[in-house]
Every structure is written in C-alpha cells, then in structure tokens.
Structure 1
Amino acid sequence: MKRYMQSSYKFLSFIFFLVVWEGVAYIVDNSLLFPRILEVLEALKNLVFNENFLFILWHTFSRFLLSVFISIIGSVFLGVLSYRYSIFQIFLTPFTIFLRAVPTIAIIILVLIWSSTERVPIIVGMLILFPILYEGILGALNKIDGNLIKMSRVFKVSRSRVIKNIYIPSVYYTLSSNIPSYLGLTFKVIIAGEVLSQENLSIGGEIFLNKIYLESSTIFAWIIVIILLNYLLEESLKLINLKLCRWQKC
C-alpha cells in the first residue's frame, strides 16, 4: 500500500510539473524563450531519428568512461600511497583542497587555456572526480579496523587475501552509496565542458550550436536526453550496488 501511494504521488507530481510547464509557456507566449511541451517533444523526436544521434551520445559517453577510468586508477594509486606513507597525503592535500574549492566554470576555463578543446571535457571530468574519489578512498582506508589487520598478520593470512577480503570490501562499502551521485556529477560536468569548448558532435556541442540558432525547443530536448541518461546511469549503479552488497547494508 505504501509503495502504491508513493507511486501515485510521483505520478501526480509529474502531472503537476507538466501543468506548470504549460502554464508558464502560455503566459510567456514565446517559443524562443519557453517552448510548449509538444514543441519539445517534436524536437526530441527529430533528435532521436537524426542519423548522428547515437554517434553524438557515444562521443560524449566515451569521454565520460575515459575520465572515470583515469580518475579511478589515479585515486586508488595515490589513495593507497597516502594511506601507507603520510608524506604523500601531506603533499596532495593542497591540490585536493584547491580542486574541490575552485568553481567548476573556473576549472573549465583554465583547462581551455592549457589544452586543446577535444581534451577539455575529459580533463575537467578527471579534475572534478579525482579529489572526491581520492579523499573517499583515503577516508575509507583510515576507517578500517586495525585489529582486523593485526589479526590477519597473527594468523599469517596472505596479503592478497587481506586486500581482497578486507581492504577492497571496506573501501567499496564506504563509497558505494555515493558512487551514483559522483558519476552523475561527472557526466554533467563533462557536458558543461563540451558546451564551453564548443566541441563538435557532442551533447554539449549540440546544445551550444542550438543556442546560437535560438532553437530553445531543441535545447530542452537535449536536456531531457541528459536527464534520462543520468537517470539510467544512476539507477544502473544502484542496481549493481544492491547485488554486490546483498549480504551487507551499504
């Protein structure tokens, strides 16, 4: 019953959102400023049936995957080094504080100055995701019960088993609940980087191009695509977390 009520409320909230949208569009009465829902749906249909649609999605998503992969490798490597040798943590602290404190737009502009436009989204995604993962991994490692490590040494448990059965699960269970939001943030930042770098055949580049031609309905259509992709990404990660954490509450 409770689940049914929640589903009903979600459906009603969605209907209310559409009503408000149509109401605002009716009051504004200018498709360039705020298009009607049917206009956005028509633009969305044109996007989906465009021959370059899948290529554009893959162009952006491949950058996202590369950025995430490099960030994970770097944060795991440096997180372990900082855990084992405090001197690394001391040296890396100013960099992580800088990256977390500086506004995203400032990072994008700096990267635009330092690098070529096609690399900007990847670098920006790495600079945003890396400090979050690094600090999360380091914090998770520091929270591991030292008695477990001592006990593994007493019973002469191999290092590979300690890493597999203590370190990796502890770090993953600490980060698992936040991973979907971390990756969702990275995906949106990469698109923002594409917008400012005006990258061709990418989601951000298409948004920028339609902004030049004042195609508001197409911009809203791309926003819907981004929302759907972000939703699918986060829900897929949550499903993976549920399966991996089925024996322990994450």
Structure 2
Amino acid sequence: MSSFITALSKKGISLGLLVILWQLFASQMKPFILPGPLETLDAVIAYLGDPAFYHALYRTLLKLVISMVCVLLLGGGLGLAIGLRPRWKPYVEPVMDMMQSVPPIAWLGIAIIWFGLTDTPSIFIIVLSTTPVLYTNLYEGFVDIDSKLIRMAKVFQIPRGKVIRRIILPSLRNYLKSGMITAAGLGWKLAVMAELLTSVDGIGGLLSDARTNLDTRKVFALALFMAVIWNMIKLLLAFLFRGKTSSPSHFHS
C-alpha cells in the first residue's frame, strides 16, 4: 500500500510540475497560440456537459473495440499458429513486414478510396497496422518458452492439447498482455487520426471541428481527454490480462 501511495505521489509531482511549466509558457503567449490550464479546463467542463462529446467518444471507442477484436483473432491466431508450426513462418513473415512497413496514412488513402468517408477506413488501418505488433509479440513469446518443459512433455507423452493449455498459453500471457496494450495504444491514436482526416463522427471529428474553428482551447481539452481515456483503457487491459506467468511443474487436470 505504501509503495502504491509513493508511486502515486511521484506521478502527482510530475504532473504538477508539468502544469506549472505549461502555465509559465502560456503566460508568455497569446491564448490563441497556447491556452493556459484554466482556459483548457473551461473547455473540458464544456465538453463534459455536451451530449455530442459522449456520442463522439462512443463512436471512437466502438471502432477501437471492433479493431482490437479483429487484431486479437488475426494477430493472436497467426502468432499462435506460427509458434506451433515455425515452418510456416517464411510464408507469413513477408505479409507482416509489408503491413508493418507501409505508413498508416498510405493505408488510409487506400481505405478511403475503397470504403469512402465512413467508419470502415479507421478500422481497416488499425487492423493492418497493429496486427503485426501482436503477432510479433506472441511469436517472441514462443521463442522464450522453456524448451526443457516442452522436451519433458514429449518424453512423458503429454497430449498436445494439455501442453498448449498448461505450458504454452500460460507462458504467453504476459506477451499477449504487452502486445494488446501496445496494439491498443497505437490503435487509439490511429482511430483519432483517421477520424480527423475523414471528419467522421468521433473524437477525431471533434478535433477537426476545433481545428477548423481555430479553437485551440478545445484542441488541448480533447488532447487531455485522449490521454486520460487511454490510461483508463490501459488499466482495463492490464486487468483483463492480469495474472502471473509461471512455468508449471505438473500437468494434471
């Protein structure tokens, strides 16, 4: 408990110093260029009382959730399959390299041509850009699995299904957690970017409106919301994938 309080106090000090620096810089500039914390807080309160903000947040989160489910199925499934069958890796690796090397903005241009100014381009670029992240994490997890346990399981003729349940999946839990958090973090930013560039409903759409109206206060307020919401998403993912990863010493059901 004391360590938690200490960590929390350190974060509070860091954020406090950041706010002080922010105010110092803002006091030397026009609010149009850099609004201060109080001006930004006014915009935050205004958004909290606006139903359109909650609708926009819902739209962005919905796209992220749909995308992460697709990434979990595609990237997680491929990572598990290639880990179990490494000889397939040369066939999958070029596709993953291409997905990872092409900038998301290029995929977005293609998606807009294919799907128009809808929600689909956001989901499309998130899935293409983050699937390799989860795939790579899980495959690296397979590399780090204790080979002695696998050999011991073969010697004792442990069924394949039990080896997967008792050794492989527990050993991959932390890699899955890390991969999902990294993919979701990238996906959150890509969702907002795609909405900003396509001006569809969502947090990015609100950013587009604020930019068009040259309302810097709202831009900063939305940036704060994005930071807070992402930290909440991160905590949720950490909770969903909680648990210690340990190599089992027995295989009984």
* TM-score bucket (shorter structure): 0.7 to 0.9
Q: Which residue of 1 aligns with 2:251?
A: none
Whichever residue aligns with residue 131 of structure 1, its letter is P
How far the C-alpha of 1:97 sits from its partner, in A, is 1.6
Distance in 2 (alpha carbons) for counterparts of 1:6 and 1:156: 47
Match of 2:146 in 1: 145
Q: Deviations over 1:18-68 (max 9, x none)?
A: 222222222112x22222222211111111111222222111111101101
What residue is the counterpart of 1:193 in the other structure?
194
Q: Contact 2:43/2:217 (CA < 8 Å) preserved in 1?
A: yes
Is 1:95 aligned with 2:88?
no
Q: Deviations over 1:220-246 (max 9, x none)?
A: 1111110000111112333444x4117
Q: Which residue of 1 aligns with 2:184?
A: 183
For the 8 Å contact 2:170–2:246, the answer to whether it is kept is: no
Specify the alignment match of 2:160 in structure 1.
159
- State the alpha-carbon separation in 2 of the partners of residues 128 and 67 from structure 1: 10
- 1:234 is aligned to 2:199: no
Q: Percent identity?
A: 22
Look up the match of 1:72. Answer: 72
Q: Please say if residues 210 and 216 of structure 2, whose CA atoms lie closer than 8 Å, have aligned partners that are also in contact.
A: yes
Partners of 1:64 and 1:12 in 2: CA distance: 32
Shift of 1:247: 6.3
Q: Is the Cα–Cα contact under 8 Å of residues 181 and 234 in structure 1 kept in the other structure?
A: no
* Structure 1 residues 6 and 94, CA gap change in structure 2 (3 angstroms): same
Q: C-alpha displacement at 1:213, in angstroms?
A: 1.0
- Aligned counterpart, 1:43: 43
Unaligned runs of 5+ in 2: 248-253
Partners of 2:246 and 2:142 in 1: CA distance? 21
Distance 1:36 1:173, change over 3 A: closer
* TM-score calculated relative to the size of structure 1: 0.86
After superposition, the Cα gap between the structure-2 partners of 1:245 and 1:84, relative to the gap in structure 1 and judged at 3 Å, is closer
**8 Å Cα contact 2:171-2:245 kept in structure 1:** no
Give yes or no for contact 1:144–1:167 (8 Å, CA) kept in 2.
Answer: yes
Q: CA RMSD in A?
A: 2.4
Q: What SS does the aligned partner of 2:50 have?
A: coil
* Cross-structure match for 1:245: 244
Distance 1:86 1:52 in 2: 49
Identify the range of structure 1 (166-175 vs 85-94) with the bigger mean alpha-carbon deviation.
85-94
Task: Quote the Cα distance in structure 1 between the aligned partners of 2:80 and 2:4.
Answer: 42
**Counterpart AA for 1:199:** V
Matched position secondary structure for 1:35: coil
Assess if the C-alpha contact under 8 Å between 1:39 and 1:217 holds in 2: yes
* Structure-2-length-normalised TM-score: 0.85
